[in-house]
Chains A and B, each alone.
Chain A
Amino acid sequence: MLKTVNLQKKYTTDEVETTALVNVNLHVKQGEFLAIMGPSGCGKSTLLNIIGLLDNPTSGEFYFLDKEISKFSERQRANLRKEHLGFVFQSFNLIDELTVYENVELPLIYLKVGNAERKQRVEQVLEQMQIAHRRNHFPQQLSGGQQQRVAIARAVVSKPKLLLADEPTGNLDSAHGQEVMQLLSTLNEQGTTIVMVTHSPTDADYAHRIVNLFDGQIISENVKELAIL
């Protein structure tokens, strides 16, 4: 699915140079559920953003669906994003001016999916996320857990091959957090590859494999269920 070779990321701002990622070699297979863990500031989000084609690495290679894409233009990356990727953020990032339904519909609009099919797919995913009864509400009218379910619905409505989640439970209490993890787990069982950043060991338990990051380097990996690989 994706592979990084000696991935480096440096941030340069006025004289100060921060190296966020050092020689990261990561391989994620189709159908995997991967968790990335590590202390604050170690580069987890940076890595996720590069994997999510939201950012370019400073050096190194990055293969996504067997294509070397580290030098892709913004437009090419945008196209890959909308076809193959889904995102879930800690802070939900729903668009306040749109209703639940319209938020979930948005990726399909950008994918130019026809009207009828769009409606059917949105309804289906809203049912699946158990949020259909709130379809005409605006994000502010929902609880955090509900908002995150909408965000997940939006991330998966386009049937992405890869779902990226940056601390999806970070803003939720544990009960709602478990609900969300349950959903992600189900999606993974249905075939979606997931890469998730988390601070919570409980959440990490849902993953097949955990990668530990420290100061921009992968220091350990532990594989939970070898059988799946």
Chain B
Amino acid sequence: MLKNYIVVALRTLRRNLGYTSLNVIGLALGITCSLLLFLVIRHELSYDRFHSKADRTYRINVDRVTANGPENSAGTPFPMLATIRASLPELTPATHVFNEEGGTFTVLSTNDREPPRKFREERPILFVEPEFFDLFDFETNGVNARQAIKDVNTVLLTQSIAEKYFPGENPVGRVIRMNNVVNLRVTGVIPDAPANSDLPYLMLVDYESSKTVNSFVTDDSWNSTYSNQQIYFALAPGASKTQAEDRLNEIASKLRDRAPGEKYRYTFQPLSEVHFDERYSNFNGRTVDKTTLWALGLIGLFLVLVASINFVNLATAQALRRAKEVGMRKVLGASKGQLMLQYLSETGLITLVALVLSVMFAELLLPYLNQLLELEIQFSIARDAQVALFLLVVLVVVTLFAGFYPALVLSGFQPISALKSKATTARAAGIPLRRALVVLQFTICQILIICTIIVHHQMEYFRSASLGFDKEAVVVIPVPSGKAKDLMALRPQLEAHSAVHASTFALSPPSSNIGLNTSFKYDDFSVERNYSVNLKIGDEHYLKTFNIPLLAGRVYQKSDTIREFMVNETFLRHVGVKNPEEALGKQLQVNGGQSTGKIVGVVKNFHLASLREEIQPVVMSTATSFYFTYNVKIEQSEAKAALAHLQRVWSTAYPDNVFYYDFLDDTIARFYEGEERQAHLFKIFSVIAIIIGCLGLYGLVSFMVAQRTKEVGVRKVLGASSASIVGLFSKDFAALVLIAFLIAAPISYYSMSKWLQDFTYRIDIGSWVFLAAGALTLLIALTTVSVQALKAAFSNPVRALKTE
């Protein structure tokens, strides 16, 4: 029986090759996208799930509520772990993970002839304790990692670093120098960190060495935290998380100072949330919102849905052609169930073909997707049970969804009327449903178009919004910590190039991920404020270099330490000063009373971080020891020459270091990487949805035209114009687009308003977006319809009438 079904199915498909290929291509496109999205979602959900203790592993976070709003951080005070080990034995194994975001590495040679080789790394170098390997199950390839970093100044290299630094050599026993401050002995080579971990180390260094590399780490106060200093631990089986959390807070409350009215709590964040909770950063520098994953899943579903709808539409439209076959089979005694099974297996066959194609497409496209999303996803169905299962589910669901209704329609034909073939029942079959489905397709397409336009628009806004300072043609060059003076001495040489317009030494550019927050006192110092201000450190050329306008007063004078201050407009609003002139000359104290000075200037507000965040109160001052960057405004058209010049001078100041730089606008663009990727995905998938929809529409219309050839012929004989013939077919679809628009507009308005709420600075959703999307869909639909309708309109009416 099945053989007979398949034979008939294959022959039917071949006979209707046009429709079959429309169906197969549409389905294959839809399934390809859903498969790729499945891989992406699965990858994101797999982060750090492979550790055997993953389900009871936590990270310690700090949640604080201030007048500026909630502040969340994954940083911990440096003495905390010792306290935990002494008083909370159920938190075990526990380890520090200290992240130094890259650094300069010098490979010391074993003889005097070769010069040392230098490398610059930008990704995490993790400083960990031996317990790290009790807690996490990273692949070590037989190396006893616990033992390898037991001693101070030891390092485990990953495979790719080992190959880069020691090509063709055995690195074990060799020495590399980090940031020109510490020599590390290589004790082993381990595989690269897996792609799905938020601890993406390039090297693992013993924790003690971090104290030499980073001066923050020697701080033994409970009052400061540093976000790159994190604690991970496993909770003993059966122990209560809340009890342990309470106890830690109880102990800590006795050890740390408390600001008045401050709400402060250490919380245990499950490892499984580290990848998703965007309130805290992770060492991957990337969290994924779970709603984004849901949205991607939904889009995948949508695409398959749109493709399946094509299927239902084309199949029901074709039902008439098959009425005779159905009728005859029924006369011969086929039951309804048998017929349904036959048509379902036909659908299953098409889906299977589409499925095979989509696996091929997916393999082809995956590298591009990886590149776009900066991921390292791999798959092979042969060894991947989950993917195989996913495809099986898709096969069954699509077959049932796409095949069930057409099968029902076909098998429901009455044998006599079906045999009469011109059966009106067959013609009427499924027309209302077909319309509803076309509306659904248009709705999905329009939602995607509207979302794409809005996301794109917001991205444009990110790029073009005035940040309150110039970000174009500004080069940011890191300065080795504590050594700014060496370069400052060369300022005349640095600026002695026609392409260098202005330059400033500073902690960081105006918009930056690096910031100092400090408590402060204003004017008479009597008012205690429970919020902090952002302390921007930069020399007297800061405003000029970034073109930040001054509202009142003057720029502070050159100084090596904090002496004079400038503040921004938000600061004035916070302290309740209306007129900028009023603030001039007022006393200000920062750093817990360590630095006092006068306000000499007020600057116009500029953005401190991404446009997601509000502008904080800012206090600006000078302090040479905090100058970690050298920022240069150059002539864009002579960037190459300017950079060469800067590198030359820079290298004379720091002969042991590696010169590198970033363009400020690139750094700022990176704030929106996540959104940029979303925008890209949206664009790609809307285009695909539209293509799939058009394929279906094209098939449907060509079918309708074929069915109405005779009608068109008669109308033309009676003198109808080609335009009126096209109108005949277009009218219906235009109405459907309109209905879809009425459904799509509110849905997309609602979801996009929600999305935009994440950004403090955002576009308004203009009505033009909806009109444009509606018009675009209408245009696409009518073009698709017209292509077919015109064929009918221009055909010879005599020929059309003869064929009947």
Which residues of A are in contact with B by a Cβ distance under 8 Å? 49, 52, 54-55, 74-75, 78-79, 81-83, 87, 89, 93-98, 102, 105-107, 109-111, 154
Cα(A26)–Cα(B325), bound, Å: 31
New A-B pairs, 13, CB < 8 Å, besides A79-B333, A97-B7: A54-B331, A74-B336, A75-B335, A78-B330, A82-B334, A93-B324, A95-B8, A95-B324, A96-B15, A98-B7, A98-B11, A102-B4, A102-B7
Query: A151: shortest Cβ distance to chain B, in Å?
Result: 9
Contact (Cβ within 8 A) A49 B325: no
Known: A82-B333, A95-B325, A107-B333. A54 touches B1 (CB 8 A): no
Number of interface residues of B (CB under 8 A): 23
Known: A78-B335, A109-B1. A97 touches B330 (CB 8 A): no
From B7, B332, B415, give the contact of A107 (CB < 8 A).
B332
Q: Name the A residues within 8 Å of B4 (CB-CB).
A: 102, 105-106, 109
Q: List 6 A-B contacts (CB under 8 A).
A: A79-B333, A95-B8, A96-B15, A97-B12, A98-B7, A98-B8
Q: A139 CA to B575 CA in the complex, in Å?
A: 93
Q: Kindly state whether residue B365 has any CB partner on chain A within 8 Å.
A: no
For the complex, give the distance between the alpha carbons of A87 and B335 in Å. Answer: 17
In-complex Cβ contact of B327 among A93, A98, A102, A154 (8 A): A93
Against A, the Cβ 8 Å flags (1 = close, 0 = not) of B423-454 are 00000000000000000000000000000000
Residues of B within 8 A of A (CB): 1, 4, 7-8, 11-12, 15, 324-325, 327-336, 338, 415-416, 419
What residues on B are CB-neighbors of A75 within 8 Å? 335-336
Q: A78-B334, A109-B1, A109-B4 are in contact. Are A54 and B329 (CB under 8 A)?
A: no
**A-side contacts of B332, CB under 8 Å:** 81-82, 87, 106-107, 110, 154
Q: Which residues of B contact A78 (CB under 8 A)?
A: 330, 333-335
| Shortest beta-carbon contacts, A-B, top 5 | A82-B333, A97-B11, A81-B333, A93-B328, A107-B332
Question: CB-CB < 8 A to A107: which residues of B?
Answer: 332-333
A98→B327 CA distance, assembly (Å): 15
A97 and B15 in contact, given A102-B7, A110-B334 (Cβ under 8 angstroms): yes
Tell me, in angstroms, the Cα distance from A136 to B333 when the chains sit together: 24
Chain A contact residues, majority secondary structure: helix
Question: In whole angstroms, what is the CA distance A87 to B332 when docked?
Answer: 8
**Interchain nearest-CB distance for B61 vs A (Å):** 66
Q: How far is it, in angstroms, between the C-alpha of A96 and the C-alpha of B1 when the chains are bound?
A: 18
User: Please, how many angstroms separate the alpha-carbon atoms of A44 and B799 in the complex?
Assistant: 36
B415 to chain A: closest residue by CB = A54
Note all chain A residues with C-beta closer than 8 A to B15.
96-97
B328 neighbours in A (Cβ, 8 Å): 93-95
A166's nearest neighbour on chain B, judged by CB, is B419
Q: Shortest CB–CB separation between residue B382 and chain A, in angstroms?
A: 35
CA distance A140 to B15 in the complex (A): 13
Chain B residues contacting A102 (CB-CB under 8 Å) are 4, 7
Question: How far is B332's CA from A75's CA once the two chains are assembled, in angstroms?
Answer: 12
Kindly provide the distance from the CB of B582 to the nearest chain A CB, expressed in whole angstroms: 87
Residues from chain A with Cβ under 8 Å of B325 in the complex: 95-97
* Contacting pair A93 B334 (CB below 8 A): no
Contact B335 A83 (CB under 8 A): no
B324 close to A111 (CB less than 8 A): no
Alpha-carbon gap, A103 to B30, bound state (A) = 37
Contact status A111-B416, CB under 8 Å:
no
Residues of B within 8 A of A154 (CB): 332
In the bound assembly, the distance between CA atoms of A52 and B327 in angstroms comes to 14
In angstroms, Cα B342 to Cα A109, docked, is 13
Q: In the bound complex, how far is the Cα of B324 from the Cα of A106, in angstroms?
A: 15
A199 to chain B, nearest CB (A): 18
Give Cα distance in the complex from A110 to B4, angstroms: 11
B336 in contact with A89 (CB, 8 Å): no
Q: How far, in angstroms, from A105 to B338 measured CA to CA in the complex? A: 16
B333 touches A111 (CB 8 A): yes
Alpha-carbon distance A110/B327, docked complex (angstroms) = 14
